Amino acid sequence: MRKIIVDIDNTLWDLTPVLYEQIRTVAPLIPLPTEWHQWDFWRGYIPEKVAYGILRDIHMQQYKFGVYPDAGKFLINLRKKGFYIIIASHREKGTLNATEEWLKKHQLTFDEVHLSHDKSVLFGDCWAIVDDSPTTLDKAEKAGIVRAGLRNPWNEKKNHPLFDNLEEIYNYLQGQCAVGKP
């Protein structure tokens, strides 16, 4: 069975506006998300510790937030295609319960949840990854697995397969299956 890694933030739900509002309360000069051309866009505005604290708070309250309208169907289609789905997120282990509750609340299809600071530990065993992080996509390219992500200001200048919605990503993955990408 082919295994696929699916990211959460900015892949299954729209983290950006929530993160922007939270950061703005402590750093009013933070640029608009359309200007977030770097993965660590917050550098120079807030300390790293504060940035990760804000993210943790959001992840602990994950139940408050929705999912992208095509997220459910995307995962169902992957399952129908025979994929084993690993939901993987760069978030603290302490947010596992909140994350799983949210996945169940929105009836998202998955086989396993993996929380860590480096998803590449999963690459050896996986056929593909869907993620918006340019760093993670770089690592996936290096590892030679299929990769795709939703297009965002922080990844669009990199040469990765990027798309505007999850349906397009599914079609791309299907194409990669069809050409027999090992």
Residues contributing to the site for Mg ion (CB under 5 A): 7, 9-10, 132
DSSP single-letter state for residue 139: H
Of 5 and 30, nearer to Mg ion (C-beta) is: 5
- The nearest distance, CB 179 to Mg ion, in angstroms, is 26
Closest alpha carbon to 147 in 110, 122, 112, 115: 122
Residue with smaller CB distance to Mg ion, 9 or 87: 9
Smallest distance from Mg ion to CB 180, Å: 28
CA angle, residues 69, 85, 97, in degrees to nearest 5: 75
Q: Which is nearer to Mg ion, 127 or 149 (CB)?
A: 149
- In angstroms, rounded to a whole number, what is the distance separating the alpha carbons of residues 128 and 177? 10
In whole angstroms, the minimum distance from the beta carbon of 150 to Mg ion comes to 8
For tokens 């929380």, what's the residue?
115
Which lies closer to Mg ion via its Cβ, residue 30 or residue 130? Answer: 130
Distance CA(174)–CA(163), nearest Å, equals: 14
Residue 131 CB, shortest distance to Mg ion, in Å, is: 6
Q: Is 152 helix (H, G, I), strand (E, B) or coil?
A: coil
> Which residue's CB atom is positioned nearest to Mg ion?
9
